[in-house]
């Protein structure tokens, strides 16, 4: 057996005072003046102690002071817990959840609240989106959610009111299957990854609008220029810098908000708080990873252990064994590990921009720690991230490797015009996306090969001359085999979407009757995000006919990833041949990618359809979907 190590013994970077105080007082949400009695009991850093199970639940949404950084701030909590209690249900039952709004008068988090049951198949009035499916829950009032539990697996719940999700209103859901599962395990833990900021979320939103690159402190330096010139040649390096300057973009702009603002949490505990899952040598441990963050993609690995992925977004998949995976905001990934040979293993989750991390421990007894790895080198955006990869999906490498002749044609696909450019077409042009509906396509098996195709796409007219659109993908590819920028280094095997296959065949079986193409659009400098260049407030609904089967085509015209979530209905991702591959509730869209999925419109009512990066959604990357008879 190996000996336990402290974070200092492990050779991790020296910790600042700010990072040190994050580990004090229960390892995360520290007790503060006004914290209700009993809160300490929910702050155990071992296992998942705060679990509510059965069919009847009373949930009270309130406000509580917490301390993750040395400063006390108000969080939005459920039953005095952050994260909210783990709800354990049983497939085939009916659950009743009485949710009361106990937010105090004058709360900075508003007077209205809500809970959305992410990924759950339920009636529209139970979905929990104020303004679409119900009126919200006002202060002092309660709302009763009641629905049949049709599925099994790992899910989560969160507020859909303003920025309350960022402030702490999120929690895990575990639904036990009615039938025996296709794998065995002896231990079962939820690992919920989130991001916390001491800023009022509305203040953070204002800062993003004023200075979107505030957290991008890792821009290339003069030293980087000379290193690149030695590797790639002076001419190519000068051309690279010139092109990025003309576009007013930076290849290090991986995420809008990172560890310069955020403190990352694991089950509501900071890294120094050391969330711990216990095991006995030889046991199989199921870890249910949930990305409940507002803006963070996490890259997860457990040094010394292989992870076998057995479910994604609540659905079983053919097992695939990997070393690491990237989990997009709102996704869930279940893995099984078999810890043996040493007393402790580190669960390491770094943000995709490599600016920070949170860690926990699997161990035979409380108090032990394993070495904590260093952050991986920061990734750099590439031509493929701009939607300008070569045909066939080959990454053309970092921008610095482009010659002048290669670089400049790519500029033609981008609108970087001055602010005096013509405004976007009015909402009527976008309307119900009628312009993007390519009509009845029954029996279009010939469309199968379209999924991975890299031909130049047809961009919607609302993108043209639009001052809120700064990029258009000219040769987007599916990127299904790509685990993510910066993943799979040092010989580690990284999970990609192409490795995921559901254990079941296409549950619908019909070919899509029509196709709906949507472009993810934005302007990074202005922090403006939208579909088809039209923000939510200026758009009309997407109208679906009840029972129809359609194919949604998403093209990411931006240089950032976007996790796209359709409420109330499953999203059945297709492979590059247009065949059913894996069922999900959230489809991650990498920069410059084109991905297709099938949807069965089997849920009447109004539903939200949006990017699950909270500040992208709030700035306009959202639509409403209406399913009618």
Rounded to 5 degrees, what are φ and ψ at 628?
A: -135, 160
Outline where 251-310 has alpha helix (H): none
* Residues in CB range of 246: below 8 A, 6 or more apart: 411, 416
Q: CA dist 609 to 275, 469, 518, 555, 587, Å?
A: 34, 20, 11, 15, 11
In this predicted model, what pLDDT tens digit does every residue of 215-226 receive, in sequence order? Answer: 675 655 555 555
- Which one of 23-32, 34-43, 391-400, 491-500 scores highest in mean pLDDT? 491-500
CA distance 353 to 414: 24
CA distance 201 to 75: 11
**pLDDT for 46:** 87
**pLDDT for 5:** 29
Give the whole-number percent of the chain exceeding pLDDT 70.
Answer: 76
Model pTM?
0.83
**pLDDT for 330:** 98
Residue with tokens 């770094």: 350
In this predicted model, what pLDDT tens digit does every residue of 231-259 receive, in sequence order? Answer: 777 776 566 656 655 555 566 567 789 99
Q: Which two tokens stand for residue 271?
A: 């890294």
Q: Provide the β-strand partners of residue 611.
A: 564
**pLDDT for 521:** 97
Residue with tokens 């999925």: 597
In this predicted model, what pLDDT tens digit does every residue of 311-356 receive, in sequence order? Answer: 999 999 999 999 999 999 999 999 999 999 999 999 999 999 999 9
Q: CA dist 122 to 149, 178, 488, 570, Å?
A: 8, 18, 38, 11
Q: Give the three-class secondary structure for 326.
A: strand
Question: Are residues 258 and 299 in contact, defined by beta-carbon separation less than 8 angstroms?
Answer: no
Nearest one of 238, 240, 236 to 249, comparing CA atoms: 240
Q: Which of 118-122, 485-489, 578-582 has the lowest mean pLDDT?
A: 485-489
CA distance 328 to 589: 9
Q: Which two tokens stand for residue 139?
A: 């202060």
CA distance 467 to 483: 32
Q: Provide the β-strand partners of residue 289.
A: 191, 333
**pLDDT for 428:** 33
In this predicted model, what pLDDT tens digit does every residue of 70-107 receive, in sequence order? Answer: 999 999 999 999 999 999 999 999 999 999 999 999 99
In this predicted model, what pLDDT tens digit does every residue of 433-446 receive, in sequence order? Answer: 333 333 333 333 33
Q: What is the mean pLDDT of the chain?
A: 83
Q: Which two tokens stand for residue 431?
A: 């309307």
CA distance 93 to 537: 38
Q: Which of 11-20, 121-130, 473-482, 606-615 has the lowest mean pLDDT?
A: 11-20
In this predicted model, what pLDDT tens digit does every residue of 402-456 receive, in sequence order? Answer: 222 333 333 333 333 333 333 333 333 343 333 333 333 333 333 333 444 445 6
481 conformational bin, left if phi > 0, alpha if psi -120 to 50, beta if neither: alpha
Residue with tokens 């869209």: 589
In this predicted model, what pLDDT tens digit does every residue of 533-555 receive, in sequence order? Answer: 999 999 999 999 999 999 999 99
Question: Are residues 205 and 616 in contact, defined by beta-carbon separation less than 8 angstroms?
Answer: no
CA distance 43 to 28: 8
| Domains of the chain: residue spans and CATH | 17-182 (2.60.40.420), 413-628 (2.60.40.420)
């Amino acid at each position: 057996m190996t000996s336990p190590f402290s974070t200092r013994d492990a050779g991790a970077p020296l910790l600042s005072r700010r990072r040190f105080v994050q580990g004090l007082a229960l390892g995360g949400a520290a007790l503060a003046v006004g914290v209700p009695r009993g809160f300490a009991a929910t702050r155990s850093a071992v296992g998942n102690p705060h679990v509510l199970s059965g069919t009847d639940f009373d949930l009270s949404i309130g406000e509580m002071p917490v301390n993750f950084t040395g400063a006390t701030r108000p969080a939005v909590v459920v039953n005095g817990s952050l994260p909210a209690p783990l709800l354990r249900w049983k497939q085939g039952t009916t659950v009743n959840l009485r949710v009361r709004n106990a937010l105090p008068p004058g709360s900075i988090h508003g007077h209205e609240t809500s809970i959305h049951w992410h990924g759950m198949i339920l009636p529209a009035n139970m979905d929990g989106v104020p303004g679409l499916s119900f009126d919200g829950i006002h202060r002092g009032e309660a709302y009763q959610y009641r629905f049949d539990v049709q599925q099994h697996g790992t899910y989560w719940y969160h507020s859909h009111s303003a920025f309350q999700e960022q402030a702490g209103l999120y929690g895990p859901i575990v639904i036990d299957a009615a039938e025996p599962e296709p794998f065995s395990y002896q231990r079962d833990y939820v690992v919920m990854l989130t991001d916390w900021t001491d800023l009022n979320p509305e203040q953070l939103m204002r800062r993003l609008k004023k200075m979107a690159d505030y957290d991008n402190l890792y821009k290339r330096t003069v030293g980087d220029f000379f290193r690149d010139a030695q590797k790639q040649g002076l001419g190519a390096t000068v051309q690279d810098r010139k092109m990025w300057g003309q576009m007013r973009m930076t290849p290090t702009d991986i995420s809008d908000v990172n560890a310069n603002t955020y403190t990352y949490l694991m089950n509501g505990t900071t890294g120094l708080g050391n969330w711990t899952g216990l095991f006995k040598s030889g046991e199989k441990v199921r870890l249910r990873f949930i990305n409940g963050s507002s803006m963070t993609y996490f890259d997860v690995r457990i040094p010394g252990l292989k992870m076998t992925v057995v479910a994604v977004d609540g659905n079983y998949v053919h097992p695939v064994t990997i070393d690491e995976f990237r989990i997009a905001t709102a996704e869930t990934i279940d893995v099984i590990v078999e810890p043996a040979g040493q007393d402790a293993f580190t669960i390491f989750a770094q943000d995709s921009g490599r600016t920070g991390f949170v860690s926990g421990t699997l161990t035979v007894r409380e108090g032990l720690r394993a070495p904590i790895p260093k952050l991986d080198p920061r990734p750099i955006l590439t031509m493929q991230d701009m939607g300008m990869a070569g045909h066939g999906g080959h990454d053309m490498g970092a921008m610095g490797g482009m010659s002048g002749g290669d670089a400049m044609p790519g500029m033609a696909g981008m609108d970087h015009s001055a602010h005096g450019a013509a405004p976007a077409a009015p909402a009527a042009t976008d309307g119900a996306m009628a312009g993007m509906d390519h009509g009845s396509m029954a029996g279009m098996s010939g469309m199968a090969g379209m999924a991975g195709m890299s031909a130049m796409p047809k961009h919607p007219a609302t993108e043209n001359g639009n001052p809120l659109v700064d990029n258009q993908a000219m040769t987007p590819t599916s990127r299904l085999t790509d685990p993510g920028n910066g993943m799979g280094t040092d010989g580690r095997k990284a999970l990609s979407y192409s490795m995921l296959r559901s254990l079941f065949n296409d549950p619908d079986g019909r070919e899509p009757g029509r196709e709906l193409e949507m472009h993810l659009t934005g302007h990074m400098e202005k922090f403006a995000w939208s579909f088809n260049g039209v923000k939510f407030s200026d758009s009309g609904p997407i109208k679906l006919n009840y029972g129809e089967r359609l194919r949604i085509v998403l093209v990411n015209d931006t240089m950032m990833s976007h996790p796209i979530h359709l409420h109330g209905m499953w999203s059945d991702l297709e492979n590059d041949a247009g065949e059913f591959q894996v069922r999900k509730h959230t489809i991650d869209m990498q920069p410059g990618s084109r991905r297709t999925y099938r949807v069965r419109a089997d849920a009447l009512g109004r539903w939200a359809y949006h990017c699950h990066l909270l500040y992208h959604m709030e700035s306009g990357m959202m639509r409403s979907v209406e399913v009618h008879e």
